């Protein structure tokens, strides 16, 4: 396997079509509903037009939830309310249809795909379709050791790229991205702290199941210790993912970059997907133009990452569960924006905007 350089994505990724976006803005100005009356749905519809290269924006017909799953050795440091190696149980709940994301996806008729990249369990206990991209069993304890070897990080990035290609080839026209992990928010916080140049306390949150003060202090200390290895490799995104990311985070980063190459729009979920997006932005500055921030999770690292990428969340419902739930909740807004841009009538010729308001 030849070495991969994430910086090469900068030459492969183009922004959504600016000419199409201007045409969408001009069409919006001709609609019977006054400018500004639909709030952020106007800008969302124009973004969709540019991303889908169509005016009006094409309907979102084949969305898909994609969840990258993995365990993190740092969970053994007591940074979470969930036990180390507990992500497999969360995955089984998704597959059984009892997890919140599965319930919401069923209600919206959206298929869910789970990709096991580093679960700490016997792969024989899960469907082969879930485990075929597995890189390793769990990831290293980042407060004491690297999460991965560089070779494993590259394999994980390539796995994420392969999933992005599979989805694009299957006709997926929008991805709702999430994660299923235990210890993943600690790795994500480390990545954000390293890339934004802030201390551990600035990015350490309470997690999906809010932790107590003592657990928060252990989490903060784990991020602080992991930063000692992250900072020397800041100039190399692949080395950074190997040092303090994890296989599922490396795969998510590769997935995001390849989705941008394939011009597939993505809705980001919580702090894990935001941290991976921040790594991907460092490799390819145009990539964030293909992403939406689905919601705000309340995690300080997510807020820091989204601010750095100038992405404003669509929703703020206090959802902390992760697993793509918040991003999936925002999907109806995206679909609504597409419907409005495609179905609202234009004013009759010679009718001004002021007439339309009366």
Domain boundaries, the chain: 11-58+340-357, 63-332
| Catalytic option among 152, 323, 343, 349 | 323
* Residue 69, H or E segment: strand 63-71
Rg (CA), the chain: 20
β-bridge mates for residue 180, sequence order = 69
- How far is 47 from 54, CA to CA, in rounded Å? 10
DSSP letter, residue 125: G
CATH assignment of 11-58+340-357? 1.10.1610
The b/e string for 30-56 (b: 16+ C-beta within 10 A; e otherwise) is: ebebeeeebeebbbbbbbbbbbbebbb
Residue 181 phi/psi, 5-degree rounding, is: -155, 160
Q: Is 323 a catalytic residue?
A: yes
Tens-of-pLDDT digits for all 358 residues of the chain? Answer: 458 999 999 999 999 999 999 999 999 999 999 988 999 999 999 999 999 999 999 999 999 999 999 999 999 999 988 999 999 999 999 999 999 999 999 999 999 999 999 999 999 999 999 999 999 999 999 999 999 999 999 999 999 999 999 999 999 999 999 999 999 999 999 999 999 999 999 999 887 778 899 999 999 999 999 999 999 999 999 999 999 999 999 999 999 999 999 999 999 999 999 999 999 999 999 999 999 999 999 999 999 999 999 999 999 988 888 899 999 999 999 999 999 988 999 887 755 554 545 4
- Name 114's Cβ contacts closer than 8 Å, sequence gap at least 6: 67, 69, 91, 94, 95, 130, 180
Is-same-fold flag (11-58+340-357; 63-332)? no
Contact 267, 337 (CB under 8 A): no
Q: What is the pTM of this model?
A: 0.94
Pick the CATH number of 63-332 from 3.10.20.30, 3.40.50.300, 3.40.50.10210, 2.30.110.10: 3.40.50.10210
């Amino acid at each position: 396997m030849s070495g991969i350089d994430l910086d090469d994505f900068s030459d492969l990724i183009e922004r959504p079509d600016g000419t199409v976006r201007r045409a969408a803005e001009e069409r919006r100005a001709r609609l019977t509903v006054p400018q500004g009356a639909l709030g952020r749905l106007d800008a969302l519809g124009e973004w969709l037009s540019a991303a889908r290269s169509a005016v009006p924006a094409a309907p979102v017909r084949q969305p898909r939830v994609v969840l990258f799953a993995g365990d993190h050795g740092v969970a053994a440091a007591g940074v979470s309310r969930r036990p180390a190696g507990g992500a497999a149980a969360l995955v089984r709940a998704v597959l059984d249809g009892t997890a919140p994301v599965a319930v919401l996806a069923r209600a919206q008729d959206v298929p869910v795909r789970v990709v096991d990249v580093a679960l700490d369990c016997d792969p024989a206990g899960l469907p082969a379709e879930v485990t075929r991209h597995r890189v390793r069993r769990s990831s290293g304890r980042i407060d004491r050791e690297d999460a991965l070897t560089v070779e494993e990080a590259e394999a994980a990035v390539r796995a994420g790229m392969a999933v992005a290609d599979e989805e694009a080839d299957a006709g997926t026209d929008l991805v709702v991205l999430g994660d299923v992990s235990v210890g993943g928010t600690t790795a994500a916080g480390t990545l954000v702290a390293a890339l934004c140049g802030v201390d551990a306390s600035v990015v350490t949150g309470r997690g999906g199941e809010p932790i107590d003060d003592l657990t928060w202090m252990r989490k903060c200390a784990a991020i602080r210790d992991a930063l000692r290895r992250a900072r020397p490799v800041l100039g190399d995104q692949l080395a950074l993912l190997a040092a303090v990311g994890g296989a599922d985070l490396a795969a998510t980063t590769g997935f995001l970059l390849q989705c941008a190459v394939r011009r597939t729009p993505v809705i980001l979920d919580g702090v894990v997907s935001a941290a991976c997006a921040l790594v991907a932005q460092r490799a390819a500055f145009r990539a964030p133009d293909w992403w939406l921030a689905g919601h705000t999770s309340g995690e300080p690292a997510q807020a820091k990452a989204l601010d750095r990428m100038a992405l404003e969340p669509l929703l703020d419902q206090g959802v902390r569960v992760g697993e793509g739930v918040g991003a999936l909740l925002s999907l109806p807004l995206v679909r609504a924006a597409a419907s409005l841009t495609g179905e609202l009538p234009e004013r009759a010729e010679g009718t001004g905007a002021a007439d339309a308001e009366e």
